[in-house]
Structure 1
Amino acid sequence: MRVLENLEPKNVFYFFEEISRIPRPSYKEEKISNYLVNFAKERNLEVYQDDLKNVIIIKEATKGYEDVEPIILQGHMDMVCEKEPDCTINFENDPLTLEIEGDYITAKGTTLGGDDGIAVAYALAILDSDTIEHPRLEVVITVSEEVGMDGANGIDLSMLKGKKVLNLDSEEEGHMLASCAGGCTTVCRLPLAFEKKSGELFEIHISGLLGGHSGGEIDKERANSNLLMGRFFLRLSEKTPFAIAELAGGTKDNAIPRETTAKIMLDAGKEDLLMQEIAAYQEILTAEYQSSDKDIKVRAKALGCGEERVTTAEDAGKMTMLLTHLPAGIQRMSMDIKGLVETSLNLGILYLEEDAAVLKYSVRSSVKTQKELLVQKLKSLTEWLGGSISIYGDYPAWEYKKDSKLRDDMVAVYERMYGKKPSVEAIHAGLECGLLSAKIPGMDAVSIGPDMIDIHTTGEKLSISSTKRVWEYVLEVLKCK
């Protein structure tokens, strides 16, 4: 029996459960991409699949809508793959384990992939129907959205006729998005000198953070475990020299990291000092983050004495300086839209290579020059310490369109159905609409979606009732002439 079998709308949740059984991490979308192609072929629909594994499916208009302007339904097939420490799921091979908790769907021990699996499920349910009225539908499902929007950047849309884009990659019902920030991933690489050395080894583990989406939750000032580790290094350096053997935290540059682990070496006889510092640091973080991350834990475990390959004390200091002095979090709020974050960055991934430290940042801004300034700041300090940076996945902001027939139609439909106006907003998170606008001259776009909670975390939830309401709303929007 299917877990979601008794939920309405049946076809939407049928396809959501179907795709939840198919592994679809970013850069590993071949299985879900082939599923979409086979879906289209089985229904004799026009379908395109490119080398990146993006998929476009086209269905002609139903009777009475032949002369209505086509509409593009758009979302992405990849998902952020996060799991709890004790979860054994292999995201490249195993299905998700769906569960129902009241009005919400979750996945046991992992992210749910509602971002953006629900867009795919909506699109497939519409394409599968013989009774839904609609103009020509052009369904665009991209790859690698979560790691730099590579799919949207590389996709060929020359076969499309429509200019109206209904992006289904938002997470708050009743909130229509009409603009978003641009961004990029910036990788800072700091060469480190290592040496064989003897001393006392300790594992430092920071965990229990809430995490979240670095665009959607950055304004909540949640703790970043990578930054907290750097801060601990700074505290410790004032009391005693230390060297770093291992360091790793976070798995996605656009997800606020929830845990970071370090293996460090101290001179013999420093265990009591370390444990005192750990206890003091725990008290500080508990007090500072009681509202946002009340379950933060800082732990140290003695690993005994021995010889280990570690950084020099000097380069441990450089690493500490980089972690504590590079910009982080919100940098600037919008001067035009109250409450909107304009510019921010997130240190999402931190690890050591054979001879260097690597720090991966998600940089965002709705102002191009501010995004460039932030990258320049990362570059200047990293290079001053002897490192270098590289940039990839650069995508433009989606600028607000003053006159939008699609938006006007959608607002009117919403008012008619619910007796109130929807909220029309700009967001700090990135959407593919910015890249698509460069490929579709005159594009008119709106982004919507059902209620989701804590996307990009293992606490991700998709509202069942909201999914149903947004489905009914989308069907009414498709009837607009």
Structure 2
Amino acid sequence: MSVLENYEPKKVFEYFEKIAAIPHGSRNTKAISDFLVNFAKERGLENYQDDSNNVVIIQEATAGYENAEPIIIQGHMDMVCEKENGVEKDFEKEGLDLYVDGDFLKAKGTTLGGDDGIAVAFALAIMDSPEIAHPRLEVVITVDEEIGMLGADAIDLSMLKGHKMLNLDSDEEGHFLTSCAGGMTVETSIPVQYTDADGLAVTLKVTGLEGGHSGSEINKEHANANIVMGRVLKAITEDVPFGVAALAGGLKDNAIPRECTAEIVIDEADVDELDEIICDLNRTLAAEYSVADKNINIEMTVNAKGERKVLTFASLTKVIFYLRNVPNGVLHMSQIMPGLVETSLNAGIMHLNSEELHITTSVRSSVSTRKADTLDKMTMLAQFLGGDVEVNGDYPAWEYVADSDIRDTISDVYKELFNEEPIFEAIHAGLECGILSGKIKDLDCVSFGPDNFDIHTPKERLSISSTQRTWKLVVEFLKRCK
């Protein structure tokens, strides 16, 4: 039985449920891409699928709209795959378990993928509704937006005729985005060496953090589990000799890490001293993060004695030095738009292997020189420690355009439908509008969407009533584009 069959708009939720049943995490988009192509073929729609799995579907104008300017509807098909502890879900092979809680659509124990499955569902529902009047529609659904906008960077849009675009990848109803930060993914590698150590194995785990989207929620000062673990290890070095056998934290570069785990080896006689250090740190962190991360906790588990490979003292020092000194979080606030984060970074994924400490960081800035300056700082720190950095997914900022027909139209429609003023603003999180503006001459675009809370976390929830209102807005907007 369908979970959403009784909810309106019926076709939007029908397609969202179909999308949710298909695994579609970043880098795992072939199945969802083929689903979109089959949708187009079944309806005789012009369609394109590239080697990256990006999809473009074109539907000609309905009667009376043949001479209207085409409208591009754009979103991405990939989602961030996060799950709660203890949840058994193979995101590579399994779909999501949807359920409704009051006004909210959720997924059991995992992220929902409303970011950006709702854009895909809207586009399919429009194309599958002959009663909806519209100009020529050019639907652009990209891949791997969540890991550096790789699909937008690779896609060929030469078949498009439109210069006006609705990007449906925002998550606050009534807020319409007109510009966004640029960004990049920075891969840092710090070489390490190991030695043998015989002692008591202890597991340390930073847990209980809120996490969140590293663009839209970086200003909330949520703790980064990887950076906190650096603080933990530094505190231990002051009183207890130890070696690090394993270190890992975070799952996505653009999600603030909620957990980080370290396996260390100590002398059995130092257990009580280590326990006291951890207890002191827990009290300190609880006070510091009483608002931003009230459940922050360092768990300590004593394991068996034995011999393990651990970092040499020199390598351990380098790892701790890096984690204690690398920039993280908000670096600069905008001087032009009060309250807007201008430059930030998030050490999203950390993993210690046999040869190196590897950290994947998402860097964002609406000022290109500040983005370059942040990279320079990270590069110098890595090179000082004998390592290096590699940059991937470097994308430009989406710059504000003073005169916008599409912004004026969506504003008028919104005010008439809901009798309130829309809010137009910039955002620190990245959007594909910047990259696509470089591919489509004179692109006029706006980004918006229904209320979707706690994206990129297992607490993600999409408002059903907000989805209904946003659908009404999109349908009426298309009707006006005659």
TM-score computed with the length of structure 1 as normaliser: 0.99
Alpha-carbon distance in structure 1 between the residues aligned to 2:239 and 2:71: 63
| Corresponding residue SS for 2:269 | coil
Indicate the RMSD between aligned Cα atoms, in angstroms: 0.7
What is the Cα deviation at residue 267 of structure 1?
Answer: 2.8
Alpha-carbon distance in structure 2 between the residues aligned to 1:28 and 1:147: 12
Say how many residue pairs are matched: 481
What is the Cα deviation at residue 268 of structure 1?
Answer: 3.5
> Which residue is 1:306 aligned to?
306
Alpha-carbon distance in structure 2 between the residues aligned to 1:56 and 1:75: 11
Q: What percent of counterpart residues are identical?
A: 54
> Which residue is 2:295 aligned to?
295
Matched AA of 2:198: S
> Which residue is 1:163 aligned to?
163
Matched AA of 1:469: R
Matched AA of 1:52: S
Alpha-carbon distance in structure 2 between the residues aligned to 1:242 and 1:71: 61
> Which residue is 1:118 aligned to?
118
What is the Cα deviation at residue 266 of structure 1?
Answer: 1.7
> Which residue is 1:423 aligned to?
423
Matched, 1:66 2:55: no
Matched, 1:332 2:335: no
> Which residue is 1:232 aligned to?
232
> Which residue is 1:437 aligned to?
437
| Corresponding residue SS for 2:442 | coil
Alpha-carbon distance in structure 2 between the residues aligned to 1:377 and 1:460: 34
Alpha-carbon distance in structure 1 between the residues aligned to 2:267 and 2:319: 19
Alpha-carbon distance in structure 2 between the residues aligned to 1:160 and 1:104: 36
> Which residue is 1:474 aligned to?
474
| Corresponding residue SS for 1:415 | helix
Alpha-carbon distance in structure 2 between the residues aligned to 1:274 and 1:238: 11
Matched, 1:342 2:342: yes
Alpha-carbon distance in structure 2 between the residues aligned to 1:410 and 1:228: 44
Q: Is the 8 A contact 1:241 1:313 kept in 2?
A: no
Q: Is the 8 A contact 1:220 1:292 kept in 2?
A: yes
Alpha-carbon distance in structure 2 between the residues aligned to 1:335 and 1:319: 35
- How big is each residue's C-alpha offset from its partner over 1:364-390, in whole Å with a ceiling of 9 and x where there is no partner? 000000000001000001100111110
Which runs of 5 or more structure 2 residues have no equivalent in the other structure?
A: none
> Which residue is 2:210 aligned to?
210
Alpha-carbon distance in structure 2 between the residues aligned to 1:92 and 1:475: 34
Alpha-carbon distance in structure 2 between the residues aligned to 1:175 and 1:435: 21
| Corresponding residue SS for 2:347 | strand
Q: Which runs of 4+ in 1 moved over 3 A?
A: none
Report which stretch shifted further, 210-219 or 310-319.
310-319
What is the Cα deviation at residue 182 of structure 1?
Answer: 0.2
> Which residue is 1:284 aligned to?
284
Alpha-carbon distance in structure 2 between the residues aligned to 1:236 and 1:375: 30
User: Residues 56-455 of structure 1 correspond to what in structure 2 (within 5 A)?
Assistant: 56-455=56-455
Q: Is the 8 A contact 2:197 2:243 kept in 1?
A: no
| Corresponding residue SS for 2:247 | strand
What is the Cα deviation at residue 306 of structure 1?
Answer: 1.1
Alpha-carbon distance in structure 2 between the residues aligned to 1:228 and 1:17: 38
Alpha-carbon distance in structure 2 between the residues aligned to 1:420 and 1:300: 52
What is the Cα deviation at residue 246 of structure 1?
Answer: 0.4
What is the Cα deviation at residue 317 of structure 1?
Answer: 1.2
> Which residue is 1:19 aligned to?
19
Q: Is the 8 A contact 1:176 1:423 kept in 2?
A: yes
Q: Is the 8 A contact 1:72 1:137 kept in 2?
A: yes
Report which stretch shifted further, 235-244 or 439-448.
235-244
Matched AA of 1:109: G
TM-score computed with the length of structure 2 as normaliser: 0.99
What is the Cα deviation at residue 196 of structure 1?
Answer: 1.4
Matched AA of 1:349: I
What is the Cα deviation at residue 416 of structure 1?
Answer: 1.1
| Corresponding residue SS for 1:439 | coil
What is the Cα deviation at residue 315 of structure 1?
Answer: 1.2
What is the Cα deviation at residue 241 of structure 1?
Answer: 2.5
Which runs of 5 or more structure 1 residues have no equivalent in the other structure?
A: none
